[in-house]
Amino acid sequence: MAALKAWFDRRGWADLIVGLPYLWLVLFFLLPFLIVVAMSVATKTPTAPPFSFGGEHPWINFDGYARIFGDALYVRAFLISLGNAALATVFCLLIGYPMALALTRVSRSWRNILLMLVILPFWTSFLLRVYAWMGLMGKSSWFNTGLTDLWNWVVPIDWAVKSIPMMHSNFAVILVMVYTYLPFMILPLYASLERLDPTLDEAALDLGSRPWQVFLDVTLPQSIPGIIAGGLLVFIPAAGELVIPTLVGDAASPMIGRVISDQFSQARDWPMASSVAVALLAIMVIPTMAYNHYQARAEGLK
């Protein structure tokens, strides 16, 4: 007992503080993930819960994983999800990079105000913001009317329309996802750009480079870690998004999050839903692990 007390006095508090995050991950990530993996190899039954192992059913059943690649519904849902998430990530980058770069070029007082405006949407309910976009994309809204007038002014008369169909389309899904996840792109980019040495840009200008050359040769390469981090923070949650596609998306072109939800709640095929969830997690983890590997490798070379 005395030895245990001595060890705790010497290392206990440090180990306890370090171990709490690991305990949290084990309880609320690893164990739930293992439960989902176990359900993914179970067999669907009419019992409660609606899956079973052993007995008249096999202990390990890979039918769910086989159906992912053999059923066009799941393949199409994965492709739609990855395509929408990729487009949302690209648009977030195109919009967020100039905003993050501008944040690093303003004075400290204005920088704090602008950063607060970037994170201000987080203070509002996520559902409330999605419902606000549903109102904006309605046929009689000023947003839809303005875009329709702009469209009719630009295109020939033969292509004129009375209103632009926005709701229940992939366009609406991508638009709302870009709005929702834009801060996740801006903040990592700002953190990366803010650490850059401005004297490098000045030296390049003094050596005769044009501003666009300075950006391409000096600023952009050094901000690649921020681009990758922001891209992952946007792409990963966007690919598995459920609420936005359900409220503004097309039911005929569901994203994978909607498919998983329907399999759990309506079809009550928990093994199939778990198989799709594990496959989605694998698709999300692979690029993250690759990024961490190359980042660690680059740090080691330095």
Q: What's the rounded mean pLDDT across residues 158-162?
A: 74
Band (36; pLDDT cuts 50, 70, 90): very high
Does the bond joining 49 to the residue before it have cis omega, within 30 degrees of 0? yes
CATH level 2 (architecture), domain 65-301: Orthogonal Bundle (1.10)
Least confident of 69-73, 158-162, 198-202: 158-162
Least confident of 27-31, 41-45, 244-248, 295-299: 295-299
pLDDT at 5: 63
Tell me which residue of 226, 248, 229 sits closest to 180, measured CA to CA. 248
More confident residue, 138 or 272: 272
Cα 125 to chain centroid distance, Å, stands at 18
Band (255; pLDDT cuts 50, 70, 90): very high
pLDDT tens-digit map of 50-93: 888 877 778 888 888 999 988 888 999 999 999 999 999 999 99
How crowded is residue 282: how many other Cβ atoms within 10 Å of its Cβ?
9
Residue 145 to residue 157: CA distance in whole angstroms: 17
Cα distances from 190 to residues 50, 67, 116, 180, 286, in angstroms, run 47, 43, 13, 18, 25
pLDDT at 219: 85
Tell me which residue of 42, 45, 87 sits closest to 64, measured CA to CA. 42
Bridge partners of 52, per DSSP, are: 43
Domain ranges, ordered by start, for the chain: 65-301
Residues in the chain: 302
pLDDT at 210: 81
pLDDT over 90 (residue 179)? yes
pLDDT at 4: 57
Cα distances from 125 to residues 23, 47, 128, 173, 184, in angstroms, run 30, 37, 5, 18, 16
In the block, tokens 């926005």 appear at 166
More confident residue, 3 or 198: 198
Bridge partners of 43, per DSSP, are: 52
Least confident of 71-85, 195-209, 252-266: 195-209
